[in-house]
A and B are shown apart, each in its own frame.
Chain A
Amino acid sequence: MSRSSVPGMLIALAVLIAALLFAFTVGRYPAGLGDLFHVIAAKLAGRPSGVPHAAIDVLLRIRGPRVLAAVLVGSALAIAGAAFQGLFRNPLVSPDLLGASSGAALGTVLGIYFSLGAFAIEATAFAGGLAAVGAVYLIGSAMRARDPILLLVLTGVVIGALLGAGVGLVKYVADPYNQLPAMTFWLLGSLAATTASDLVPLVGPVALGTLVLLALRWRMNVMSLPDEEARALGVPTGPLRIAIIAAATLVTSASVATAGIVGWVGLVVPHIARTLVGPDFARLVLAAALLGGGFLLAIDTVARTATATEIPLGILTALVGTPFFIWLLAGMAKTWS
């Protein structure tokens, strides 16, 4: 790691740690970090901690899994965003560019429509995300074009619109009293229902996708060059593109299946990470993971503590993300002119 990136990485790490401390300390149930330390210290010393059992339960079974899920989802979306922005050589790309979110949304509303259980709904969301991106890739690469990337993006936009219409249709025919509110809540994103068992289907895909992206870090740097130059350096752009898209999609679909649609993280966080540690992909991914985890955790902590009822994540991330996006566009408008 070059010396110049160390401060940036430390800042990203500090953000995550601060968010973790904050998240464990506050909540609607009166239990905090102090109780957790009491329990651990008492366990080590082999004496009873005196902390009520319910408080420990809240920290370990409810707040703990949710905090971990927020960090994982935020990291995953930021990593996928960084990968897509590099791959598509475009700073305005987010991880749902190829339809992962719209596919997951359709999977979920169908799951709710057919009254499936909570886990089955997550599975349909995950499968929906993978299937959508798979379809986009197959259609986009079946056509021969001079600019395969542009074609892929356009296919993603079109398929995304089709899936959006599908979501609209299912909402239209759904039971307006029971199913429609459930669909609306899910589409706005929330981690309210997270339990420890939700972490298993989240950790696996996220870890696998991240490892693949990290293993490809050198080639990923080359992918941000134009195709011809990358090929001239001996990098097979086609297969590599599949691998990156598959890894990023795996990561995105798993997060969307757990948290619902949480926009902006995958778009905004990679930019902040880039200003902190520079464009080298390995460092960028690491910084984006730390920042994304910290950012979404902070947002989710606000979502669950600000009022007695949950504030949807999608609304909070948009409130933070929109000003940043406008700032980003303003900066780009300068370079365009």
Chain B
Amino acid sequence: MLKRVGHPVDEKGAAVAIKDAAFPVPFAPGLEFNSPVHGNWNIVHTGMLMPEARQIYVCADNCMRGVVLTAAEMNAADRFSFVIVKEENLLNGNLEDITIEGVTDVLNKLEEKPKAVLLFTVCLHHFLGCDLERVFQELEERFPEITFIRCYMDPIMQKHGPTPDQKLRKAIYEPLPKRKADEKAVSFLGSDFELGKNADLKRIVRAHQGSFRELPGCKNWEDYLALSEGKLFVSSYPPSKYGAEVLSKRLKRPYLYLPGSFDYEEITAQLENFCQAMGYGKLEETISVEEEIAACERALEKAHEVIGDTAVAIDYLYHPRPLGLAKLLLTHGFRVTRIYLDSISPEEKEEFGWLKEHAPEIQLIATIQVKMRVLPRKSDEKILAIGQKAAWFTGSPYFVNMVQGGGLYGFDGIRRTAELMVEAFTEEKDTEDLVVRKGWGCESCI
């Protein structure tokens, strides 16, 4: 039985026309709602990318339940263990001991030791001033054959510093050793997904007989260690930037941040930088920008022929640049009516200004604001949703099912988006079955 609760509410405070929106936070902070859309990756999913490693968490029951069942749902419970923190551990001040002895106990019970342990400590360790140096030193002495990686599940810190997600994307590269650079290799860091085989960067590297290395493609520990051999480090997913910069400094290797973009000029500039850094010469010697753009235009035109004047809703989970995508679609005749987001990336300040001027009535709609629990989630007209959150909030079965930019990049990413839009428009999906699954792209046993 479906029920609506509470008093009738209006959208005020949860939705705003972009012409009236503040940058970078259009909505007042307050209590937070969490929608039933779970395709985004969390620290468990990302940690599982590390081959031959085991994750061990040390925290209280409630925090633990979310991560242990994440592992179970992705059929990876056999790579996950934990130590429960009890009230007496807080009162007795023996968090160091319980962490050391608990992790030791888990590792002693394993028939085969992992190459690495991602050891996650939590807010409680931080607040109690737990001596993590002592914890790790002791564990490293007890298990010298295992690499212990310092990971954090401390969301209480995330509004004033790096998020646990950002810190993890730094930590998982900390074991990489200093190795001689392979002049043919590029190491692509910090993404949860392998780039599509036709992604611009991969095509360019392939054209120069180079190798493209990325964590999601690593099958074993040696593959992982070889990530340190890239002549150039590259990342494109915004939360990866912090960790990739740190790694670049530590291994003294050049690094380029080439964020996924929907702007032809920005993509071109990124690819030129990349070619220069790799010593490939001018970009035009490898691919024709003119032809790339023409192919994008054809893909967008074809999509528009199919989708026409149908309302389009975009969410921030589909891609870190939702405003850039909106601008691209609007300039190609699509009717973008709403964008679901809670804040605007500093990387999109220019697009925000452009949309204010050229599409002032576009609605920015929050996803965590309290009213979003009870506002209507259906529409009388057909809506093409780009992203899982847009699908749930609009109640649309016509949606592009992808998160965090998937493996899209560059001109190819634009073309793939256009193709996915056509597919989504023509093929109805089971929204409830798809969006509630954790970690899009991971195995899901629910």
- Does chain A bind chain B? no
